Amino acid sequence: MRLRRRLGLRAVAGFTTLLLPFAALVGLASPASAATTATATYAKTQDWGNGFEGKWTVKNTGTTAINSWTVEWDFPSGTSVTSSWDADVTSSGTHWTAKNKSWNGTLAPGASLSFGFNGSGTGSPTNCKLNGGSCDGGPTVPGDNPPSAPGKPTASDITNTSVKLSWSAATDDKGVKNYDVLRDGAKVATVTGTSYTNTGLTAGTDYSYTVQARDTADQTGPVSGSTAVRTTGGTTEPPTGDKVKLGYFTEWGVYGRNYHVKNLVTSGSASKITHINYSFGNVKNGQCTVDDTFAAYEKAYTADQSVSGTADTWDQPLRGNFNQLRQLKAKYPHIKVLYSFGGWTYSGGFGQAAQNAAAFAKSCKAVVEDPRWADVFDGIDIDWEYPNACGLTCDTSGFAAFKTLSQALRTEFGSNYLVTAAITADGSSGGKIDAADYGGAAQYLDWYNVMTYDYFGAFDADGPTAPHSPLTSYSGIPAAGFNSADAIAKLKSKGVPAKKLLLGIGFYGRGWTGVTQSAPGGSATGAAPGTYEAGIEDYKILKNSCPVTGTIAGTAYAHCGSNWWSYDTPATINSKMAWAKNQGLGGAFFWEFSGDTGNGELVTAIDSGLK
């Protein structure tokens, strides 16, 4: 069985250059064909006088996928790109070209992505083109320049449900016709004047506004600077009930996925969860260590990107994800955050750690209690894949090693911290649950995150097709014991209390291609295409690109064209939560936040299902 943490390896490897955001990226591919069903919008996200940070957002507004993208623009003399990330940026004189990386060229209908750069000078981009066409999906008129950027909007008359926005006018050689008002990057209105009142907002909610001018030829210019607005009122009441509702937040998600702590707020998910596992810390030389320091505590956030609406400064002691988590906890005091160490990629260090468990535990507590962020974390989570068994590498620490490590962590952290572990869900006879003393270790841990997903997938390229997260067994299941019910039953039989077991949900699907049979059990020729990795795709994409055609063993499946996918939906999650409550389980957890829709459909299903 291969588990979801495999993505940690692929993601970190794919983002090597992103971890060095100030290194120049170069490269130029052949021109792409014109596309009039996509847009590219620009925002200056930071400005420090003679330098700035810029961001382009490319959105597929059509009905078919885009397989590559190229954004071109002109800077005035004296303004240039000095470094970039998430795109290959080159120049010819004052003309600049940005092309997609190998891993982010495909955009499904309705999907968007961003790339950024640091620049010198004070100019703004002009003459924007996307795949040879206009950046607003409209015409490019020879001899007619697009308009300039309007002034950054100012906000006034803010209420629970509305805000008034005003801005200074843009200029254009042929005249400005109107302005598009963008809220969180999406157009909400087109107006002829230089003010607009946005109504129908949600109380106590953060929004970000920009404005873009449109000339008489319907060409759009660059977007203005952004203004953060928080409506008045609203509450942040903690979730009801005593069930744990935990989600993994991935450290590397702030790069290609462009998923940040603030997304937990804008999606509505923050009010519906109880715990966050921040993943992953590394395990090196038998000790816990921070993995990506830039993402963790160095990355600067602008006001509109941050949870609090306040921009980071260059000299503040803590920035990055850790500071954003601090702000999230201030806004939602009920949320507890655990630092998760290991995962599929970094589990190789646990064997050495188990040889001196006390020293390992001491090192972990030193990371969690670092004075710069000691208030952020409420505990530690260990994701060892797998003790005394094989994952990315094979471990031979012995049956008792996991219990020894768990005991050392509890001794070091004491009763005031949460100490938890993500564990295998292999319920087969003689499988991974039988390889380590999970029953004995349970006394030292607050709960287990039982990874009841990734049972089946295109790592078996020829199939048979099967749901990757079956709740129960079924006739024709490819392997006995590879389902949630059998895993939970086996752990209970080893003495683990039901209340210490959390049911795992994947916010993604696994799929094959070359499949002709709609029902499970069909043959395949390989992995179905995926945005970040073949054979894997987020729920937010699959719900539209390959809608559900059936359900087997409590999990949905879909057959579209020659592709076959299985994934959980709000409906199947509701049934799984009902099962979890009936079993007396402590709650549920999921991998991971960014796979959900922008309005948090799956988190909402977990929350409502456990009430």
Pairing between strand 95-99 and 70-74? antiparallel
Question: Which of 166, 151, 167, 142 has its CA nearest to residue 219?
Answer: 142
Contacts of 302 (CB under 8 A, 6+ apart): 45, 46, 53, 226, 311, 312
- C-alpha–C-alpha distance, residues 342 and 5, integer Å: 9
Q: How far apart are the first and last CA of the chain?
A: 32
Beta bridge partners of 590: 247, 505
Q: Which residues contact 158 (CB under 8 A, 6 or more apart)?
A: 164, 229, 230, 231, 232
Pull the structure tokens for residue 218: 């319907």
Cα torsion 427, 430, 433, 439 to 10°: value is: 110
The letter for the amino acid at 380 is I
Residue with structure tokens 């926005």?
Answer: 165
Distance separating alpha carbons of residues 456 and 489, to the nearest angstrom: 20
Q: How far is CA 69 from CA 98, 99, 468, in A?
A: 8, 6, 33
List, by residue number, the catalytic residues.
Answer: 385
| DSSP run (H or E) holding 245 | strand 244-250
Nearest to 158 by CA among 226, 207, 193, 192: 207
- Tokens 């709960």 found at: 447
